[in-house]
Amino acid sequence: MAHCAALLDALNEERNDRLQHFVEWSPDRRRVTLTFYPFMGLWAHKFMRFSKDLNPDDPMLYRLPDEWLPGDLLAPARYILTETINFRLNNHVHPCLYPDSRGLYFKTDSLLSGLYVSLALEALGKGEQRALCKREGCGNHFTIEHGSQKYCSERCNKRAYEQRKRDKSSVTV
């Protein structure tokens, strides 16, 4: 679970230095190896290799998807994330509609399955939107309640406003 969350963060921030732990292109950019950590509950890695040139003698080599551009880390990393989440949700989550409800609900068989549902929704952009407070010196993460929200609280908003006023008055003096 922690590796999926780290991968999602790296994807959202487009951090190539972190994505390279999961995606490795060959020097000629014709092959890519994807690493899943840990896979199927084991503390072992699962590798998948994709290539433009298929070899009939290598049944573990998959065709490189056309939409994966040579050297791109984002698309292959998204593939790792979706495959891992799909594997973890399979036979553990059941979507339900209840009478008089207006939404889709998910019944899970364990807390871990519920966490993977939350991760899947976050990966789709349907989870809570979180941000880092913009006030210098705060550093709190918060759930965004409206599109233009920059500060974690009304107090931080007021402090940032007062700081901007002080900065502006010191410049004009």
- CA 169 centroid distance within chain: 42
Q: What is the pLDDT of residue 92?
A: 93
Q: Do 34 and 75 share a structural domain?
A: yes
Give the distance, in angstroms, between the CA of residue 25 and the centroid of all CA atoms in the same chain.
21
Q: Are residues 3 and 77 in the same domain?
A: yes
The domain total for the chain is 2
One domain, residues 80 and 102 = yes
Are both 83 and 139 inside the same structural domain? Answer: no
Check whether residue 13 and residue 40 sit in a common domain: yes
107 and 154 in a single domain? The answer is: no
Whether residue 15 sits in one domain with residue 79: yes
Highest mean pLDDT among 16-20, 59-63, 123-127: 16-20
Can you give the pTM of this predicted structure? 0.63
Q: Does 11 lie in the same domain as 96?
A: yes
CA–CA distance, 116 with 86 (Å, rounded to integer): 9
Higher pLDDT, 126 or 117: 117
Q: 75-95: per-residue pLDDT in tens?
A: 888 888 888 888 889 999 998
Element (H, E) at 49: strand 46-51
Per residue in 29-73, pLDDT tens?
A: 888 888 876 555 544 557 788 888 777 777 778 888 888 888 899
How many distinct helices (H) and strands (E) make up the chain? 5, 8
Domain termination residue (choose one: 91, 110, 127): 127
DSSP state of 71: T
Please determine, for residue 160, whether its predicted confidence score (pLDDT) is greater than 80.
yes
The residue range of the domain holding 145 is 131-172
For residues 15 and 65, state if they share a domain: yes
